Amino acid sequence: MKKSYDVILVGAGMVGALTANLLAQQGFSVALVDKGNGQCQLSEFPYYDSRVSAVSRHSKALIEQSGAWQLMDAERLTPYHDMNVWDGLGTGEIAFSCDDVHLDELGHLVENQVLNQALLTQLESHNKLVDCFFASSVSHYEKQDEVMLVSLEGGPRLTGQLVVAADGANSLIRAQAQIETKEWDYQHNAIVATIELNKSHENTAWQSFGEEGILAILPMPNFEGRHFASIVWSVPPNEAEALLLLSPEMFCQRLNYAISNEFEVLSLISKPISIPLRQRHALQYAQSGVALIGDAAHTIHPLAGQGANLGFADAGALVDVLSKAKERGESLSNDRVLRRYQRARMSDNIRMSASMEFFKRLYETQNPLAVFARNKGMGWMNNQRLVKNHIISLALG
């Protein structure tokens, strides 16, 4: 007889793979579908994956709960203890430290491929509950009575109670469910790359806002006495295009100018890539047997490194709501059940999106009066322990 799943989960990126693990831990049967082959590309030291994520303590706890955190090579994880933010157009500076909140670290920098691989490996321990359909694209889904039917291109048709879309920013499931989004272009591209520095990053994440754009220098593991970092450099699209045309030496020169002498960039370790940034927010996270999580539900500016963290929190909240529904004997696709998930997550996600928009606009202006006020504000805030601790607690998730 044809198998029917509790959940058909589309997308085995970081958010989908975490969700599959958490669902299986709660005893749900899952069909996990991804168009990729389920293999991550782990680069050799020090050629780190240029896509890295600052993983908050709350996200770390969820990943630990799934069992995947323990599978990652500790040498590839970089805890960061401090975060220094400065205004490249003035003297404003704010320093956040884990000591202020009596914690061992503010979070960890993790290569996306390393984390995704650990989450997929951990799924093998749930092979009685999770069936993986890799190298399979969803072509469409439909609802027949209370059953969700998902068709794979040239493959089988899956049946289940609920479809969870973790299929990223351009979610096909979201489009087919006709869930509208509010979205606009940030008029920024993020350039990401791995660089070598002349001295240790001291496990500090550095962020500068200035005329050269928004630049984050994120600590990566040191290796054989050499010091590495990952950059996320957000600039207008035409500037991104021009930066990518520079020779590696000229690129480093521009980077050194943007860093304004905090470090010297010795060399580019990876070829820079440019990612267009767009804000998106689904107007609903759930509808008729479909729930959206991660980038399928929202994308935000990476300036505070929170996008995946919001997705991991979606995963935790959805699994929690579904587990309680199961205990009560409610159907997983019941609208009331899915609305509980939406209520649990939407306001937090909107608040974070709005904050990113605020900071992006605040630091975009080069009007001298606004720059003066901004720098004064940063100086004031740097001395306000309570305000800073509140910001840290938001960033910790």
Ligand X SMILES: Cc1cc2nc3c(=O)[nH]c(=O)nc-3n(C[C@H](O)[C@H](O)[C@H](O)COP(=O)(O)OP(=O)(O)OC[C@H]3O[C@@H](n4cnc5c(N)ncnc54)[C@H](O)[C@@H]3O)c2cc1C
Binding footprint of ligand X, residue count (CB under 6 A): 32
**How many residues does the structure list for the chain?**
397
DSSP H or E segment with residue 214: strand 213-219
- 38 belongs to the binding site for ligand X (CB under 6 A): no
Nearer to ligand X, 88 or 307 (CB): 307
- Give the Cα-Cα-Cα angle 69, 138, 164 (nearest 5 degrees): 50
Cα–Cα distance between 128 and 27 in angstroms, integer? 10
Binding ligand X (rule: CB under 6 A), the pick from 6, 49, 111, 167 is: 167
- Looking from the CA of 270 toward its CB, the CA atoms found within 13 Å total 22
Closest separation between CB of residue 309 and ligand X, Å? 4
Closest separation between CB of residue 67 and ligand X, Å? 18
- 272 belongs to the binding site for ligand X (CB under 6 A): no
**Sole window of 10-18, 61-69, 333-341, 349-357 interacting with ligand X (rule: CB under 6 A):** 10-18
Nearer to ligand X, 29 or 189 (CB): 189
DSSP 130-142: EEEEET--EEEEE
Q: Quick one: how far is CA 133 from the chain centroid?
A: 24
Distances (CA, A) of 237 to 191, 215, 231, 295, 324: 10, 15, 17, 21, 46
Which token pair is 261? 């002498």
**Sole window of 86-94, 195-203, 206-214, 307-315 interacting with ligand X (rule: CB under 6 A):** 307-315
Residues in Cβ contact with 198 at an 8 Å cutoff, skipping those fewer than 6 apart:
227, 263, 264, 265, 266
- 49 belongs to the binding site for ligand X (CB under 6 A): no
- Give the Cα-Cα-Cα angle 55, 59, 64 (nearest 5 degrees): 110
Binding ligand X (rule: CB under 6 A), the pick from 34, 87, 196, 239 is: 34
- 181 belongs to the binding site for ligand X (CB under 6 A): no
- 35 belongs to the binding site for ligand X (CB under 6 A): yes
| % helix, strand, coil for the chain, step of 5 | 40, 30, 30
Nearer to ligand X, 305 or 371 (CB): 305
- 352 belongs to the binding site for ligand X (CB under 6 A): no
Closest separation between CB of residue 285 and ligand X, Å? 13
Q: Three-class SS of residue 90?
A: coil
- Torsions phi, psi of 224, nearest 5? 45, 50
- 269 belongs to the binding site for ligand X (CB under 6 A): no
- 213 belongs to the binding site for ligand X (CB under 6 A): no
- 12 belongs to the binding site for ligand X (CB under 6 A): yes
Binders of ligand X among 314-333, rule CB under 6 A?
A: none
Nearer to ligand X, 244 or 370 (CB): 244
Closest separation between CB of residue 82 and ligand X, Å? 16
Q: Quick one: how far is CA 276 from the chain centroid?
A: 15
> Interface with ligand X by CB under 6 A: which residues?
10-16, 33-36, 53-54, 137-138, 166-168, 172, 190, 192, 232, 275, 294-295, 302, 305-309, 311
